[in-house]
Structure 1
Amino acid sequence: MSARARLRRSSAVALVSAITAGSVLLLAACDPSADAKADAKAAAPATTPSRTAAPTASASPSAATTTGAATSAPGTATPSAPAQPPTQPVKAALNLTRGTGLTISTGTNTVLMDGGAVDFGTVVRDLAWSPDGKRAAFVDGNGNLETSDPDGSHQTVVAEAPSGVTWSHPTWQVFTPNAEENSTYLKPKNNLQFTADDHGTLRILSVPAQGGTPAPIHLNGPSDDTPTPIPQTGNLWPNVGNRIGSSVYANKDDGQVYIRDEYLRQEGMAVAKGSQPDRDEEGDIVFVRSVAGHSHLFTKGSDYRAPERDLTPQATVDYTEPAFSPDGKTIAFRAPDGIYTVPAKGGTPTKVSDTVGLPAYRG
């Protein structure tokens, strides 16, 4: 096992009590190949959290999308029929996120977590968590990159998306060298990486989490392991997967999953055919690949030359957007009717939520 695979992230799991209850609407994830089906649910409002702008952020904000509330036309209302008692009890929506660290962002104000729902007071798309679980990163209703506390308070606009450019799927890159690591090469990091779709051109950008000007991440050219050039565009769905800051991402044009090694040399290479990858602490990856007309989940060990394993060989619907739990033992994923989990070593999927959205683990 490489030195990278032995490194561990120190994380603190601090679960948040739910402020509100109910399920919410899915906004489709950022990958252009992702399923765009939505499941509408109502959520109770909560106090709108405060929001501040990061002082160093630059670029012009994109236009906000405003939806006006419907109003009744003047005139005499037709009396409604008396309400009839229900013939059977209304079944509560399934939400088994309590105590798991699993969160589900739905493209509305509400995020499912810890068995309930938290109203962030603003649209939350593609929620991701810092390694210690103390800050959330997401794309807001204006298309800008924001961070906040887990309850939606202390919101900060990290950077504003230029007009006509769509940002999506942030991931948090944090690294603090310890006494045994060579700080000459391994510099501290506290960045957010995300996908930028600039009129059809896809790139992965990085920006300091405190605010700044986003810039494309560095992608090396050919290496001994990768004799062909690494694509500089068409890249999306980044996920940082260990405390050094190494990551995985996909390329829409060639249909490959790539690793990006932050350990000293920042080398990268394609490791599998697929999309929507995630990486755990040990360097194992999970990704999506189409089999017989449906999206299956595949895993691959840290020895990237090893064969892949189909976690969902019996899939009869699309399984997408997988996310590793912090201990690497569980994978949450999206299905058309909700969120499921499956052991990373294989097994029977278990439904944990009726709400369809993007799963992510906090801490």
Structure 2
Amino acid sequence: MSARARLRRSAAVAFVSAITAGSALLLTACDPSADANAAKSGTATPTHAVSPSAAVSTSPSAAATPTADATPSASASAPASPAASESAPAAAPSATPTKAALNLTKGTGLTISNGTRYVVMDGKVVDFGTVVRDLAWSPDGKHAAFIDGAGNLQTSNPDGSHKVLIAKAPSGVTWSHPTWQVTVADVYDKGRTNLFFTADDHGTLRLLGVPAQAGGTPAVLSLNTFSDEHAKPLPQTGNLWPSSTGAHGAAVYANRNDGQVYLRDDYLRQQGTAVTKGSQPAADDAGDLVFVRSVDGHSHIFERTNDAGHQERDLTPHASVNYTEPVISHDGKTVAFRGPDGIYTVPAKGGTPKKVSDTVGLPAFRG
């Protein structure tokens, strides 16, 4: 095991141990479009990259609605299911790319999906040939997972080719925000490749998991199964926005009802407790968190370090608009997030946010 891997594993153990001692410790319908049917689904024909000067439509975002701490919005994006979010719908994005002035994603690993068939990636716009919502990348960046225009879970290659239908959502149930759980094989773990996601069943939110291969049956994720018998029971509903992290399959998620961010860790047989107050969490490979918290009527982006002090830092202290849907790069150096007029980045250690794209959508880091 490399020194960095040992450090990550030690950090993860220390994080969970510290949280446990202290407490006895990529929206339901995270759809960047306003309507699943507004973005016309493509066919299974080969996909291609659109001109680098093009970008996906920059329709106004619903992120203008602040996220409340006690009842965090399921998504700053416009929801497919009204019960899934308190945020207001946004204008539906166009299914055709339009010329935009700004696309600084080349060489950054940053991608942007907005509920159309077009994904901003590496300075270009890639046509996936089908509606792409809530795009998430496997840790090695070689596979995408997303919710398609029919509301089903699919995977594909980075150019949209070799699509695999993983599972179909039941009628009346909205799936959103998939994340990859990929673990390394060792004496305690045979190695797993799963997908976690949120299911909104007529307003009841649960986290589901399924193997990342065709033919699997999604099942409700276990929460608190291995904790001490005297531990406070974890909420089984109201959970959303899962984000997996690290080589041992830990994941963070939020609970809409209590406004808390939770850690789930089945590697250490300790399946979670509340970590901090906020919503829309994501984590890097070492377990540092980014999340949304309301400050003075606006949604700010916060970071929480995975060290002994668990320091929290407001990365957007001067925000006069709402910043939402943060994601942190695998190396923990860069945080990207959504603003009302595009995507911004900021150093994880703090600094001045920089606008990198006019496309309003969900950011993600590939590899």
TM over 0.5: yes
Which of 164, 169, 173 is matched with 1:161 structurally? 169
Note closer, same or farther for the CA distance 1:306–1:345 as it changes in structure 2 (3 Å cut): same
Counterpart in the other structure of 2:201: 198
Contact residue 221 and residue 230 of structure 1 kept, 8 A: no
Shift of 1:176: 2.4
> What is the distance in 2 between the residues matched to 1:205 and 1:219?
11
Provide closer, same or farther for how the CA distance between residues 290 and 189 of structure 1 changes in structure 2, counting only shifts above 3 A.
same
Asked whether the 8 Å contact 1:299–1:309 carries over to 2, the reply is yes
The whole-number CA distance in structure 1 between the counterparts of 2:91 and 2:203 is: 23
- State the alpha-carbon separation in 2 of the partners of residues 237 and 145 from structure 1: 15
Q: 1:235 aligns with which of 229, 236, 239?
A: 239
Does residue 3 in structure 1 map to residue 15 in structure 2?
Answer: no
1:322 aligns with 2:326: yes
Write 1 or 2 for the structure with the bigger share of helix. Answer: 2
* TM-score normalised by the chain length of structure 2: 0.77
Does 1:143 pair with 2:151? yes
For residue 288 of structure 1, report the CA deviation from its aligned partner. 0.3
The RMSD of aligned alpha carbons is 2.6
1:49 is matched with none
* Equivalent residue number for residue 118 of structure 1: 126
Show the counterpart of 1:188: 191
Candidates 352, 357, 362, aligned match of 1:353:
357
Distance 1:24 1:118 in 2: 13
Instruction: Give the partner amino acid of 1:19.
Output: V
Please tell me whether residue 285 in structure 1 is matched to residue 289 in structure 2: yes
The whole-number CA distance in structure 1 between the counterparts of 2:10 and 2:223 is: 19
- Tell me the CA shift for residue 241 of structure 1: 1.1
1:187 alignment partner, SS class? coil
Output the CA distance in 1 between the equivalents of 2:291 and 2:341. 20
Task: Provide TM-score, normalisation by structure 1.
Answer: 0.78
2:327–2:336 contact (8 Å) kept in structure 1: yes
Q: For residue 267 of structure 1, give the secondary structure of its aligned residue in structure 2.
A: strand
CA distance, structure 2, for counterparts of residue 113 and residue 4 of structure 1: 34
Q: Structure 2 unaligned runs (5+)?
A: 1-6, 14-46, 62-76
- Residue 309 of structure 1: CA displacement? 1.4
Partner of 1:19: 50
**Could you tell me whether the CA contact under 8 Å between 1:5 and 1:281 is conserved in 2?**
no
Kept in 1: contact 2:58–2:358 (CA 8 A): no
Tell me the CA shift for residue 23 of structure 1. 2.2
Q: For the structure 1 residues 305 and 195, does the alpha-carbon distance in structure 2 shift closer, same or farther, using more than 3 Å as the test?
A: farther
**Cα–Cα, structure 1 residues 35 and 297, in superposed 2: closer, same or farther, change >3 Å?**
farther
Distance 2:211 2:9 in 1: 26
Classify the secondary structure of the residue corresponding to 1:161.
Answer: coil
> Residue 134 of structure 1 aligns with which residue?
142
Query: Aligned equivalents of 1:221 and 1:304: distance in 2?
Result: 26
Q: Tell me the alpha carbon deviations over residues 334-358 of structure 1, each in whole angstroms, 9 at most, x when there is no partner.
A: 0000000000010000000001000
User: Counterparts of 1:1-363 in structure 2 under 5 Å?
Assistant: 3-5=9-11, 18-20=49-51, 21-24=54-57, 28=77, 32-33=85-86, 36-38=89-91, 40=93, 43=96, 92-177=100-185, 181-182=186-187, 185-211=188-214, 212-220=216-224, 223=227, 227-303=231-307, 306-363=310-367
Q: Is the Cα contact below 8 Å between 1:18 and 1:115 reproduced in 2?
A: no
Instruction: Give the deviation of 1:266 after TM superposition.
Output: 3.6
What residue identity is the alignment partner of 1:201? T
Q: Which amino acid aligns with 1:160?
A: K
Give the paired residue count.
Answer: 305
Match of 1:251, as an amino acid?
N
